[in-house]
Homo-oligomer: A and B are copies of this chain.
Amino acid sequence: MQTPDPFDIWLPLARAHKSILTSVETALKQAGLPGLDWYDLLWELECAGDTGLRPFELQEKLLLPQYGVSRLADRLAKAGYLTRQECSGDGRGQILLLTAAGAETRAQMWAVYSDAMQQAVTPHFSPGEARRLAELLGKLLRPAPADKI
This chain's copy number in the assembly: 2
Question: Is A127 located at the chain interface by the 8 A CB criterion?
Answer: yes
- In the bound complex, residues from chain B placing their C-beta under 8 Å from that of A131 are 4, 8
Given contacts A136-B129, A137-B133, contact A117 B6 (CB under 8 A): yes
Interface range on chain A (Cβ under 8 Å from partner)? 35 or more
- Flag if B130 contacts A4 (CB, 8 Å): yes
| Contact pick for A63, options B18, B134, B139, CB 8 Å | B18
Report the separation of the CA atoms of residues A133 and B15 in the bound assembly, to the nearest whole angstrom: 14
Chain A interface mostly: helix
Question: Is A33 located at the chain interface by the 8 A CB criterion?
Answer: no
A1-32 interface with B by 8 A CB criterion: 1-4, 6-10, 12-22
- Flag if A127 contacts B1 (CB, 8 Å): yes
| Contact pick for A136, options B2, B63, B136, CB 8 Å | B136
Write the nearest CB–CB distance from A122 to chain B, whole angstroms.
Answer: 5
- Flag if A16 contacts B13 (CB, 8 Å): yes
Question: Is A111 located at the chain interface by the 8 A CB criterion?
Answer: no
Those 6 A-B pairs whose CB atoms lie nearest each other, nearest first = A123-B144, A6-B121, A12-B137, A4-B130, A16-B140, A123-B148
